Amino acid sequence: MKHVFPTYNRFPIDLVEGKGTVVTDKAGKTYLDFTSGIAVCNLGHCPDNVTEALQLQVANIWHTSNLYECALQESVAKLITDGDNKQVFFCNSGTEANEAALKLARKYTGKEKIITFEKSFHGRTFGSMSATGQAKINQGFGGLVPGFTYVPYNNIKAFREELDENTAAVMLEIIQGEGGVIPANAAWLLEVQMLCKKVGALLIIDEVQTGMGRTGTLYGFEQIGLDPDIFTLAKGLGNGLPIGAMVGKGNLSSAFGAGSHGSTFGGNKLALACAKEILLTMKQAGFLEDVNAKADYFRNLLEEDVEVLDNVSAVRGEGFLIGIELENAAEPVVKELRDNGLLILTAGPNVLRILPPLTVSYAEIDQATHLLKNVLENQLIGSEEG
């Protein structure tokens, strides 16, 4: 790819077709996709109902701008908020959703300080990059947006020491996906929420990767009983169509009036037609129960067949956001699995990140577990011989 900036270390395959969990490269080789396009294709590739919704919208109208009312935006916003006293700002990505959240928090509170966490990831534009607690993300770009401070994750003492009445907001992920698939402690999260309320800081939850059923509930924070002031969505909201959403409590709307923020393509009809169908699917009776049953089945297999291996340190995560920490480097395992027809990701130098579609079958889970076990055993034998 000589004419594209090399901002990604790309795998040497070109995927040209996908259906459900299976993708095909231009050479005709098929793979089980347990990446879901990095937690995007939560309903699998090209689900029939979403494809039909997109085709119908394409035949009518594509784009009108946000200068006109849009019933489709209101319909999707209601599905996202479930009728609660919340409002939605539509954009095109998780990064943009997080930028909107940061702007809203500062404008509403009139304060600048924002606390985020070490090993967090919130995006790569200047605001979201400044919120990200990983030095490697911002190297070489000069001064960051001021006002951000980072504290250790799951450490209530460090958080208490940093939080004060000058804090506009606290931004966090309930599972640090890019940071190594590190789940937050539920008691810690609840105390963070309580302390935020005590000093008047807004609680922002980045649900870009954990949301849209990925962890077993529509939004990950629902499992813990959190009530964030703001949360952000993207990835699975569009199942491959670019869309993001910043969701805030209704009392915050006074800070986001006309002209305060915007997006040319945010809330476009093509992406929203897909998002509406995706949300309706996930809200169907039994859908998330089925996801949880399959996720529990997969987790049990991994604990029985994979976690017991000598080169595996731990299996962790929630739902279908799974991390496998290894004793050695993760990349050779990813490569050998790819060669054998299974696509997964890394989350740091020694963590495998596994993100199957929520619609994955039990047979596909069995097949993936078998491949994973065999490859890890091969890697273990190779390291012992070496």
**Residues forming CATH 3.40.640.10 domain(s) in the chain:** 49-282
41 vs 222: CA distance, rounded Å: 21
Q: What is the pLDDT of residue 159?
A: 99
**Residues forming CATH 3.90.1150.10 domain(s) in the chain:** 288-358
Q: Is 94 annotated as a binding residue?
A: yes
| Cβ atoms within 10 Å, residue 79 | 18
pLDDT digits (tens, 9 = 90+) for 126-173: 999 999 999 999 999 999 999 999 999 999 999 999 999 999 999 999
Q: Is 121 annotated as a binding residue?
A: yes
List C-alpha distances in Å: 267 to 62, 273, 320.
11, 10, 27
Q: Could you tell me which of 221, 230, 202 has the C-alpha nearest to residue 87?
A: 230
Q: What is the pLDDT of residue 383?
A: 61
Q: Is 206 annotated as a binding residue?
A: yes
Q: Is 263 annotated as a binding residue?
A: yes
Dmax of the chain from CA atoms?
67
278 vs 214: CA distance, rounded Å: 13
Q: Which parts of the chain have pLDDT scores under 50? A: none
Q: What is the pLDDT of residue 191?
A: 99
Q: Is 209 annotated as a binding residue?
A: yes
pLDDT digits (tens, 9 = 90+) for 297-343: 999 999 999 999 999 999 999 999 999 999 999 999 999 999 999 99
Q: What is the pLDDT of residue 254?
A: 93
Q: In the CATH scheme, what is the code of domain 288-358?
A: 3.90.1150.10
Q: Is 292 exposed, middle or buried (0-12, 13-18, 19+ CB in 10 A)?
A: middle
Q: Is 89 annotated as a binding residue?
A: no
Q: Is 159 annotated as a binding residue?
A: no
Is pTM, for the whole model, over 0.75?
Answer: yes
List strands edge to edge, sheet with 202-206.
86-91, 244-249, 230-233, 202-206, 167-172, 113-117, 148-151
CATH 3.40.640.10 fits 49-282, yes or no: yes
Q: Is 55 annotated as a binding residue?
A: no
**149: amino acid identity, one letter:** T
156: left (phi over 0), alpha (psi -120 to 50) or beta: alpha
